[in-house]
Amino acid sequence: MPALALSASVRRATVADAAALAALVNQAYAVEHFFVDGDRTNPAEIEQLMTNGTFLVLDHHERVGATVYVTIESSKAYFGMLAVHSELRGHGLGTRLVRIAEAVAEAAGCTAMTMKIVNLREELGRWYRSLGYREVRTAPYTHRPIKQACHFVEMEHPLGMRAVLAA
């Protein structure tokens, strides 16, 4: 595989990135159109989420190449909207961003990272389990109108010493 021209570090997104972040997330989540209607997000929602958390961004050729949203919730952190541009998939960028999100959470004193996937995306469950995430509960899917019955599967991964002891 040829080398990718990626930024050397991950940066925090700004409000000026909202439209690019929404476009990237919608591109990455278009695969879900078989069970939901509409886009995953929009620039206004991205801006609103920035008031409670952070979008971490990996740039590629001066544009957003990959992103993940992280928020700290007491002793636990949450990540979502993990998205990698279609041209960049298969290079480990999703794993890299998940691990960076975990490091941010651990540095903030969190003992666990949480996230959720839709049960119909079975490939995601397998991938997150390979990263050490385990199912902890289910929750109703209420984000967008659905074409097919589905629900969220909430997953969790221990951080810090909890991760070491769980291994």
Domain ranges of the chain: 11-166
pLDDT at 167: 52
Q: pLDDT confidence of 154, banded at 50, 70, 90?
A: very high
Give dist(CA 69, CA 13) in Å, integer: 10
- Its sign, for the CA torsion 127, 130, 131, 132, is positive
| pTM for the structure as a whole | 0.90
Q: Is the pLDDT of residue 115 over 70?
A: yes
The string of pLDDT tens digits covering residues 34-91 is: 999 999 999 999 999 999 999 999 998 888 999 999 999 889 999 999 999 999 999 8
DSSP label at residue 36:
B
Burial (CB < 10 A; 0-12, 13-18, 19+), residue 95, is middle
Average pLDDT, rounded, for the chain:
91
Helices (H) and strands (E) in the chain, counts: 5, 7
How far lies 155's CA from each of 16, 82, 112, 119, 124, in Å?
Answer: 31, 14, 10, 11, 11
**What's the average model confidence in pLDDT over 122-137?**
96
Out of 1.10.10.10, 3.40.630.30, 2.60.120.10, 2.170.150.70, the CATH code matching 11-166 is: 3.40.630.30
Assess whether pLDDT exceeds 70 at residue 2.
no
Distance separating alpha carbons of residues 73 and 27, to the nearest angstrom: 28
Q: Is the predicted pLDDT of residue 163 greater than 60, yes or no? A: no
